[in-house]
């Protein structure tokens, strides 16, 4: 057994969040500590990549703020993440959506993935 896998099994426990993938629009609620105060802030945007495996897994969320693109990388198993909410499931063909960085306005839209219920 690999030494890193052994340490991950002993120390870490995986946090359960809803399954999301690249192209989905999500809201990440994370804790911010300012001095002795603690508050929760929301970061709403599109997932442009999911990277890594195990406890080192990270995902990148991109949003537009006053016409400027803002990206933030979150570790999936960080204790600072309070919750993740999926707003829309995106219909994309790629795992890494770095082409979104050059797009603005209507060109930056991601189509929504529709689910058909089987009866």
Q: Domain coordinates of the chain in residue numbers?
A: 3-103
| CATH number belonging to the domain at 3-103, selected among 2.130.10.10, 1.10.3720.10, 2.30.30.790, 3.40.50.11540 | 2.30.30.790
Looking at residue 1, its pLDDT comes to 61
pTM: 0.82
Run means of pLDDT, 10 residues per run, the chain, 119 residues? 72 78 95 94 95 88 92 91 94 94 90 83
Residue 43 β-bridge partners: 28
Looking at residue 67, its pLDDT comes to 86
Q: How far apart are CA 93 and CA 90, in angstroms?
A: 10
């Amino acid at each position: 057994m690999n030494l890193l896998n052994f340490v991950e099994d002993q120390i870490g426990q995986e946090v359960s969040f809803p399954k999301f993938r690249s192209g989905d629009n999500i809201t990440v609620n994370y804790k911010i500590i300012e001095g002795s105060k603690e508050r929760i802030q929301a970061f709403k945007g599109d997932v442009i990549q999911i990277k890594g495996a195990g406890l080192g897994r990270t995902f990148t969320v991109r949003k537009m703020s006053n016409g400027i693109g803002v990206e933030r990388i979150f570790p999936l198993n960080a204790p600072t993440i309070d919750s993740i909410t999926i707003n829309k499931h995106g219909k994309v063909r790629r795992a890494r959506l770095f082409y979104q960085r050059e797009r603005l306005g209507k060109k930056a839209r991601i189509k929504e993935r529709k689910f058909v219920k089987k009866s």
